[in-house]
Amino acid sequence: MQVPLSPLEFMRRSRRLYANREAVVDGAERWTYGEFFARCDRWSSALQRLGVKQGDRVAYIAPNTHAQLESFYAVPQLGAVLVPINFRLVADDFRYMIQHSGATVVCVSAEYLGAVDSIRADLTDVQHFVTLERPAHHSSEGATVGWLDYETLLAGASPEFRRPVIGENDLLTINYTSGTTSRPKGVMITHRNAWMNCVGMLTHTPMTPADTYLWTLPMFHANGWTFTWTVTAAGGRHICLPKFDAATVFRVAKAEQVTRLCAAPTVLIMLANAPAEVRQGAPRGVGVMTAGAPPAAVTIQRIEDELGWVVTQIYGLTETAPAISICEPLPEHAALSAEGRARIKARQGVELVTSGELRVVDDQGHEVPADGTSAGEIVARGNVIMAGYYNDPEATEKCMADGWFHTGDAAVVHPDGYVQITDRLKDVIISGGENISSVEVEAMLLGHEAIQEVAVVGLPSEQWGETPHAFVIFKSGQTATPEALREFCRASMAHFKVPHGFTPVTELPKTATGKIQKFVLRKGRPNITAQ
C-alpha cells in the first residue's frame, strides 16, 4: 500500500481536484490545471518519441516561463532527470553543465540560442536541441537550423506515453551550485527530498487554492525552492515572471492580486527602495519568503511597515532541497516592538518538521551552548539532504563523511533555540586575533539612512592581518562621508569591528541568485563602477 513520496503525487491530486481552476498565467496566456497538465503529458510523449528514457537527463536554459514550469512535471513523470540551468551564465558554463550532466536533450529559450549555438559542436552527447519559443526573426516553418520547435512538437504529440515505475529515491533533478570559487557541482535531488521539502513548506506557511504566487524567484534556483510543486500541491495559481524589475512586480501584484512570492534579500532591498508611485496600490498582506543570504532586520522592517507584507525567513542550501530551517513566529513575538520582531525575523530559526536534525557544532563536533554568542558550524541530516554530488564522490565524501552535511555557515544558537548565521566560515574577518562577522557589520550599516546596499569583506593589513572594508551603494541623491559612516558604526558596536575603509559603488558583484560574490571584493579594488 505504500506510494513513493514524489511531487508527481501533487500533480495527480491537483489534476483530479482542480482541473477547472486557473493554474498558470504567462503574459496573455492562461491555462487551467486540466489544460496545463495536458500540455505536460503531450511534452512527456514528445520527449519519449525523441528517445528520452528513464534516467536520461534533460537540460533547460530558460527564465520563468510556462515552458520551464512544465519541465518540472513532464520530465520527471518519464522517470528522466531534469537539469535546470542558470540562464544568466555564459556559454562556457552551459557547455560544462550540459556535458557534466550527460544531458541528451537540451531545451533553450529563444534569447539563449546564440550562446548554445556557439558551443553545439562540443555537445556531442546531445541528441536533440529544442527551442522553447520561436525567435521573432524566423519563419513559422521552423526555429533555426538544427533546432526543433517546442510548440510544434507538443501540438503533434499524443497525450499518451509509457509511464515507468518511479521510486522515491530515484533522481528527480540535478541542480548546479553557483560555482563562485571552482567549477559548479551537480546536486542530486531525489523525489523524496523534494516531496519532504514541499510538505514542510505547506506545514509552516500554509497555502490554499485561493493563493496566487508570483514567480520573482528563478525556477532554476533549487527548483524555485520547490514552489514549482508546492503551489500546485495547494491548488494555487502560478504567475510567471520571465524578467524581474520592481515596477513589474508591483504592477503584476496589483493586477493579479498576488498573495505570495519569494525573494532573496537583494530583491527585498530593491522592492523596499522602489519609488512610492510604483508601490502605490500594492496589495497588503502578501506573504514573502526570503532566503539565500542573511537579511538585515532593517530591510525586513521596511517591507513589513511600509508595504504591509509579512516576511518569513527560511534557511538552507541547494544541497538541502533547499530548506532546513524556518524563522517560525511564536505568540510571544507579537508583544515585541516592530524593531524587535524584525530582529527575530532576521534569524534563520528552527528545523522544519520534515527536514530532519540541525545542529551548530564546534571544531570537535560538540554542540555549542545556546547563549547567542558561541559560534560554530551548521550541520544537518535528514530527509531533505541531497543524494550527493553527481559524478563527484570526493566532494560528496568531504561534506558528508561523518553522517552530517556540513554547510560551511557559521552561526550561534540563541537561548530560545533559534539559530542565527553570523557568516560564511570563509567570510569571517579575523582582525588582530578578533573574529568579526561581516553580516553584523552589514546589518549595522544598512540602518544608515543614506545606504541602500552594502557588502563588508576583510582586506589585507600589515598591522592587523586583515581589517573590515565596506563597499557601499548609496540611495539615489544621498551620500555620506567615510568619517560619518565610521562614527555611525562606533556608536553601536566595538571599534575593532568598524570598517577601516569605505568604497562607494554603483553595483556589487553577485551570483545569478543574488548572493554577493565576496571573493571578487576581497581581490582588492574590484572592477566595478565607483559612484
Enclosing H/E stretch for 422? strand 419-424
Listed in sequence order, the residues at least 6 apart from 171 whose beta carbon sits closer than 8 Å to its beta carbon are: 55, 81, 188, 189, 190, 387
Query: Do 377 and 444 fall within a single domain?
Result: no
3 state SS of 165: coil
Residues paired with residue 423 on neighbouring β-strands, in sequence order:
410
Separation of CA 181 from chain center: 18
Query: Do 28 and 80 fall within a single domain?
Result: yes
Q: What is the pLDDT of residues 182-214, one digit of tens each?
A: 688 999 999 999 999 999 999 999 999 999 999
Query: Do 322 and 404 fall within a single domain?
Result: yes
Around Cβ 507, how many Cβ atoms within 10 Å? 12
Q: Find the largest Cα–Cα distance for the chain.
A: 72
Query: Do 272 and 402 fall within a single domain?
Result: yes
pLDDT at 77: 98
Looking at 402, 424, 446, the residue that finishes a domain is 424
Q: Are 286 and 309 in contact (CB under 8 A)?
A: yes
Query: Do 178 and 162 fall within a single domain?
Result: yes
Query: Do 399 and 487 fall within a single domain?
Result: no
In order, the DSSP letters of 359-390 are EEE-TTSPBPPSSSS--EEEEEESTTS-SEET
CA distances in angstroms from 423 to 223, 406, 411, listed in the order given: 25, 14, 7
Residue 137: burial class (beta carbons within 10 Å; 0-12, 13-18, 19+): exposed
Looking at 388, 406, 424, the residue that finishes a domain is 424
Consecutive 10-residue averages of pLDDT for the chain (531 residues): 95 98 98 98 98 98 98 98 92 94 98 96 97 66 76 97 98 85 86 98 97 97 97 98 96 98 90 94 96 86 95 95 96 94 95 97 96 96 97 95 94 96 83 81 93 93 86 95 94 89 92 79 58 45
Query: Where does 95-227 show beta strands of DSSP type E?
Result: 105-108, 128-131, 148-149, 171-176, 186-190, 212-214
Looking at 392, 424, 456, the residue that finishes a domain is 424
Question: Cell triple for residue 311?
Answer: 516576511
Query: Do 282 and 351 fall within a single domain?
Result: yes
3 state SS of 530: strand
Cα angle at 69 between 63 and 72, to 5 degrees? Answer: 120
pLDDT at 505: 94
CATH code assigned at 295? 3.40.50.12780
Query: Do 345 and 434 fall within a single domain?
Result: no
For the entire predicted model, the pTM comes to 0.87
pLDDT at 513: 65
Domain count, the chain: 3
Sheet architecture: strand order including 465-474 = 451-461, 465-474, 501-504
Query: Do 409 and 432 fall within a single domain?
Result: no
**What is the domain range of residue 463?**
428-521
